[in-house]
């Protein structure tokens, strides 16, 4: 930690606030999948009129959810909360196959906002099962993306693996026909460790054609790695149920730098800044840039902020919208 700044008497014409170096990570905030999902809801509202129902939070960010509610979106957990004649959007995290099947049975108008990179994992799961492989799926139990991916294949064809320790407890042999996939928003380092453990125990295990962790998750973690060592504290803007945001906190802490997860600027405790000379700032893939600027403004209320941006990667990914909203 940097030494505490001594208090000094105010000098006329000089900023009385103590200096604070703010290192803002890039890339941060919205990814292409989140941009697409939000635009899907907005376009559905324009095309079909309010209300448009959304199964599950469209993305894990309360500010985004509240903004869409104000425009006429109604968020529900299950399809049985949606009237037959109302349009419904499926969240960016993906859904089990049973969900669109039920929507079709009820002749519902639905739009799938599943991130294309998650859909890619869904298709891989189907192909692996078609080849007779049992899937070992690396992910966090209960996360909507995990529920959705595991729901792409018949029960008994996929097994969840959450930790390296889980690998030793798997009831399979090196001769079994196995493959693996992973959730897209995991810790890059943790996932590599689990994959290494799987490959050591099951040398014949089949890997996906490309890494499943998405570009946005990898880039945001890489950006935190770039800034954390230079910081006394890292602030991560994101929801407590946002997997990729929680991973950013972990990345900083593993590098020895204290990190705090916040949803809005008003959650910052001024005491966190005691003895702090440099703060890092980033945002999970579901957090809009407006919330980043709110944090900068709040810090500027207390300290004389000198802002710097450190870029780990450039992003220009854009995903197409579903045809039913563009025709």
- Reply yes or no on whether the pLDDT at 4 is more than 60: no
201, 223: one domain: no
- Reply yes or no on whether the pLDDT at 248 is more than 80: yes
Active-site entry in 145, 250, 253, 314: 145
177, 161: one domain: yes
pLDDT at 16: 75
Full domain range(s) for residue 245:
19-30+215-311
Q: What is the CATH number of the domain that holds 108?
A: 3.40.50.11270
pLDDT at 15: 63
**Percent of the chain scoring above 70 in pLDDT:** 95
- Reply yes or no on whether the pLDDT at 59 is more than 70: yes
135, 195: one domain: yes
- Express each pLDDT in 279-307 by its tens digit: 999 999 999 999 999 999 999 999 999 99
Residue at 268 is within a domain = yes
Confidence of residue 11 (pLDDT cuts 50, 70, 90): very low
173, 203: one domain: yes
Residue at 250 is within a domain = yes
Residue at 50 is within a domain = yes
- Express each pLDDT in 120-143 by its tens digit: 999 999 999 999 999 999 999 999
139, 195: one domain: yes
Provide mean pLDDT across the span 21-26.
98
124, 102: one domain: no
- Express each pLDDT in 139-171 by its tens digit: 999 999 999 999 999 999 999 999 999 999 999
Q: What is the mean pLDDT of the chain?
A: 95
- Reply yes or no on whether the pLDDT at 318 is more than 50: yes
Provide mean pLDDT across the span 242-269.
98
220, 256: one domain: yes
Instruction: Taking the CA atoms of 8, 12, 13 and 17 in sequence, report the sign of the dihedral they define.
Output: positive
162, 208: one domain: yes
- The SS3 assignment for 21 reads strand
Residue after which a domain boundary falls, among 182, 212, 242: 212
pLDDT at 37: 98
pLDDT at 14: 55
Confidence of residue 10 (pLDDT cuts 50, 70, 90): very low
Residue at 241 is within a domain = yes
**Percent of the chain scoring above 90 in pLDDT:** 94
- Reply yes or no on whether the pLDDT at 221 is more than 90: yes
Phi, psi of 308 (to 5 degrees): -135, 145
Q: Give CA–CA dist 274/180, Å, rounded.
A: 46
191, 234: one domain: no
Q: What is the CATH number of the domain that holds 270?
A: 3.40.1010.20
- 145 counts as catalytic: yes
Confidence of residue 17 (pLDDT cuts 50, 70, 90): confident
Distances 184 to 114, 120, 122, 181, 188 between C-alpha atoms, Å: 12, 10, 11, 9, 10
Residue at 76 is within a domain = yes
Q: Give CA–CA dist 1/116, Å, rounded.
A: 42
Phi, psi of 316 (to 5 degrees): -140, 25
What's the number of domains the chain is made of? 3
Q: Taking the CB of residue 174, how many other CB atoms lie within 10 A of it?
A: 10
248, 230: one domain: yes
């Amino acid at each position: 930690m940097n030494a505490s700044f001594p208090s000094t008497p105010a000098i006329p014409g000089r900023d009385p606030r103590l200096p604070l170096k703010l290192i803002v990570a890039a890339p941060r905030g919205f990814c292409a999948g989140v941009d697409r999902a939000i635009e899907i809801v907005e376009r559905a509202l324009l095309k079909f009129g309010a209300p448009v129902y959304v199964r599950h939070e469209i993305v894990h960010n309360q500010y985004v959810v509240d903004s869409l509610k104000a425009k006429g979106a109604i968020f529900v957990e299950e399809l049985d909360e949606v009237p037959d004649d109302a349009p419904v959007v499926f969240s960016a995290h993906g859904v089990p196959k049973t969900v669109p099947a039920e929507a079709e049975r009820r002749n519902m108008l639905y739009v799938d906002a599943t991130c294309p990179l998650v859909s890619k994992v869904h298709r891989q799961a189907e192909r692996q099962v078609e080849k007779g492989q049992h899937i070992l799926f690396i992910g966090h139990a209960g996360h909507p993306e995990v529920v959705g991916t595991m729901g792409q294949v018949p029960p008994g064809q996929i097994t969840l693996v959450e930790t390296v320790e889980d690998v030793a407890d798997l009831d399979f042999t090196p001769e079994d026909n196995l493959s693996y996939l992973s959730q897209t928003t995991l810790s890059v380092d943790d996932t590599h460790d689990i994959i290494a453990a799987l490959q050591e125990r099951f040398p014949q295990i089949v890997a996906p054609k490309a890494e499943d962790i998405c570009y946005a998750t990898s880039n945001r973690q890489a950006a935190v790695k770039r800034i954390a060592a230079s910081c006394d504290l890292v602030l991560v803007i994101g929801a407590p149920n946002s997997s990729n945001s929680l991973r950013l906190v972990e990345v900083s802490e593993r590098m020895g730098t204290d990190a705090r997860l916040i949803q809005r600027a008003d959650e910052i405790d001024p005491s966190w800044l005691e003895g702090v000379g440099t703060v890092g700032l980033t945002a999970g893939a579901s957090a809009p840039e407006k919330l980043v600027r709110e944090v900068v403004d709040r810090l500027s209320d207390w300290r004389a902020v000198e802002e710097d941006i450190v870029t780990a990667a450039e992003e220009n990914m854009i995903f197409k919208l579903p045809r039913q909203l563009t025709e």
